[in-house]
Amino acid sequence: MKIKNICCIGAGYVGGPTMAVIAQKCPEIDITVVDINEKRIAAWNDENVDNIPIYEPGLSEIVEEARDRNLFFSTDIDAAIDKADMIFISVNTPTKTYGIGKGMAADLKYIELCARQIARVAKDDKIVVEKSTLPVRTAQALKDILDNTGNGVNYQILSNPEFLAEGTAVDDLMDPDRVLIGGDIDTSEGEEAVQALVDIYAHWVPEDRILTTNVWSSELSKLTANAFLAQRVSSINAMSELCEKTGADVNEVSIAVGMDSRIGSKFLKSSVGFGGSCFQKDILNLVYIAKSFGLNEVADYWEQVIIMNDHQKKRFASNIVKTLYNTVSGKKIAFLGWAFKKDTNDTRESAAIYVADYLLNEQAEIVIYDPKVRAEQIYADLDYLNTRTEEENRKQVKVVNSAYEACEEAHAVALLTEWDEFKELDWKKIYESMLKPAFLFDGRRLLERKTKEKIGFEFYAIGS
């Protein structure tokens, strides 16, 4: 089976970059990325590729090359479904905010809407690929809807979880550790569908890195991978607190531990806490699934990763209050960084949001600078918490266009995202513009202690 037309529903962080790379590598396949969000599609089609809605190093160049050749962005979802042999579902699956499983289970509302739309429109056989992270056995739900509401056409459901990390999405897509494809490999139709997707990736990924499994293993592997990664961060963060008490330095500990080839050196960087759209959501989802099978010990084990992460964010914030003589009321705190990590404009679940919320409850005034995050996003993140009114958020929080402006006359600076440019700042100039004693809290272990102390800062860093 040769795929000629692909439709991708959802033009977000996953759908956009993934389809751009497939389009670049497979010029013979026409790809249409569709979304209900007209503004987002218009941005993907913006003449100036610098205005595409997702910032990822290397992405705009690929979009420029493939767009309007074999990569299209559209709001005409029905037409794209109708034309496609293969449909990727890359819509959002947030944690449920209502009803059963509130705060834990994944909300599959958007996935179900997609399935119903595909069933209504499709007039010939389709391969449907789950790209969004989903709870185990979602494929069955998808198949039920497609088979029961469709026009009698055949569907093959594949699971093809994405493992791309934001900020390195293009590299991760170009040179993946592995591509995982789950399908109904016990039937010849299922095998054929799996092979069709293998053939697409085989345009640029060595075949020994393309792994095929049954659907359930594929779905669960995605949750497992994210749970393991998050667990490493929570493990080193747990040690960071112990380091602060004992005189050990968490960076030294992580180097020493990471040199053990059985442990490995990656993902052992202590921080103010992990963020991002995946880790918390996927672990909560895993906890929910385990509980629903009565596996309470399994559920508790993984929940601890989240509890530790929440503790780390709170600990960082409360340390600021404690250090500033137990009150930050009316004091100006400069935030350097708001994104959940460097090289992305994504702020979902960013630790900065929760640190800010804590300090705002203590009546601090916060002035924020992030090189890629816009003011409206920052206010939206704070408003979403519903801790105080929108008016209060705008009164207590200011967003500015430079690090120097943020730090001027501040009582303290909190570094929340590890943007490279923060290393290169003129820290002496910042020190001189601040109120004294000038406190500097490094939540990312980005800055060198010695030089900052020499300038005169009261310097605090996670895990030392």
Residues between 322 and 341 with contacts to ligand UDX, criterion CB under 6 A: 340-341
Residue 164 interacts with ligand ADP (CB under 6 A): yes or no? no
Q: Which stretch binds ligand UDX (CB under 6 A): 4-12, 47-55, 164-172, 290-298?
A: 164-172
Q: Taking CB under 6 A as the criterion, which residues in 81-120 touch ligand ADP? A: 90-92, 110, 113-114
Q: Rounded to an integer, what distance in angstroms lies between the CA atom of residue 100 and that of residue 105?
A: 8
Shortest reach from residue 18's CB to ligand UDX, in Å: 11
**Known binder of ligand: residue 13?**
yes
- CB-CB contact of 45 with 51 (8 Å): no
- Beta carbon of residue 93, minimum distance to ligand ADP (angstroms, whole number): 7
Query: Is 114 or 359 the residue whose CB approaches ligand ADP more closely?
Result: 114
Those residues whose C-beta lies under 8 Å from the C-beta of residue 48, and which sit 6 or more positions away, are none
Distances (CA, A) of 319 to 242, 316, 353, 359: 15, 5, 16, 11
Q: Is residue 224 annotated as involved in ligand binding?
A: yes
List the single partner that 410 binds among ligand ADP, ligand UDX, none, CB under 5 to 8 Å by kind: none
User: Which residues is 156 bridged to in the sheet?
Assistant: 127
From the list 3, 6, 8, 15, which residue makes contact with ligand ADP (rule: CB under 6 A)? Answer: 15
Strands in 30-34's sheet, in edge-to-edge order, are 71-74, 30-34, 5-9, 86-89, 126-130, 155-159, 179-183, 210-214
| Number of residues binding to ligand UDX, judged by CB under 6 A | 19
Q: Which of 238, 281, 424, 276 is nearest to 352 (CA)?
A: 276
Binding segment (CB under 6 A) for ligand ADP, from list 28-36, 222-230, 299-307, 412-420: 28-36
Minimum CB distance to ligand ADP, residue 9 (Å): 5
Say whether 14 counts as a known binding-site residue: yes
229 binds ligand UDX (CB under 6 A): yes
Judged by CB under 6 A, the residue of 7, 87, 145, 164 near ligand UDX is 164
By CB under 6 A, tell whether 55 contacts ligand ADP.
Answer: no
Shorter beta-carbon distance to ligand ADP: residue 106 or 366: 106
Nearer to ligand ADP, 27 or 57 (CB): 57
Sign of the C-alpha dihedral, residues 220, 164, 86, 142? Answer: positive
Task: Please state the φ and ψ torsions of residue 310, each to the nearest 5 degrees.
Answer: -65, -40
- Residue of the chain from 6, 7, 8, 13 that contacts ligand ADP (CB under 6 A): 13
Q: Is 247 annotated as a binding residue?
A: no
**Residues of this chain, 247-276, that bind ligand UDX according to CB under 6 A:** 267-269, 271, 274-276
Q: Which residues contact 369 (CB under 8 A, 6 or more apart)?
A: 334, 335, 336, 337, 399, 400, 401, 402, 403, 405, 406
Tokens of 418: 């590890």
Least separation in angstroms between residue 422's CB and ligand ADP is 26
Tell me if residue 191 falls in helix, strand or coil: helix
Determine the Cα–Cα distance for residues 15 and 9; give it in Å rounded to an integer: 7
- 91 annotated ligand binder: yes
Query: 73 labelled as ligand-binding?
Result: no
Q: Exposure string (b/e) for 15-32, b if CB count within 10 Å is 16 or more?
A: bbbbbbbbbbbbeebbbb
Q: What is the per-residue DSSP string for 137-168?
A: THHHHHHHHHHHHSSS--EEEEE----PPTTS
Identified catalytic residue from 7, 26, 278, 407: 278
Rounded Cα gap, residues 367 and 335, in angstroms: 6
- Write phi, then psi, for 185 (nearest 5 degrees): -75, -5
User: Measured from the CB atom, is 210 or 233 closer to ligand UDX?
Assistant: 233
* Residue of 3, 11, 62, 434 that binds ligand ADP (CB under 6 A): 11
| Half-sphere exposure at residue 23, Cβ-oriented, CA atoms within 13 angstroms | 28
Residue 163: contacted member of ligand UDX, ligand ADP, none (CB under 5 to 8 Å, by partner type): ligand UDX
Strand 210-214 and strand 332-336: pairing?
A: unpaired
In whole angstroms, give the CA distance from residue 336 to residue 176: 32
421 is in an annotated binding site: no
Is residue 130 part of the contact set for ligand UDX (CB under 6 A)? no
Q: Does position 309 bind ligand UDX by CB under 6 A?
A: no
- Name the segment binding ligand ADP (CB under 6 A); options: 12-20, 23-31, 239-247, 288-296: 12-20
Q: Which is nearer to ligand ADP, 105 or 367 (CB)?
A: 105
- 432 three-class SS: helix
- Active-site annotation holds for 278: yes
Site of interaction with ligand UDX (CB under 6 A)? 162-166, 226, 229, 233, 267-269, 271, 274-276, 278-279, 340-341
Residues of each annotated binding site for substrate:
162-166, 222-226, 262, 269-275, 340-341, 444
Catalytic residues: 278
Site of interaction with ligand ADP (CB under 6 A)? 9-15, 34-37, 40, 77, 90-92, 110, 113-114, 132, 277
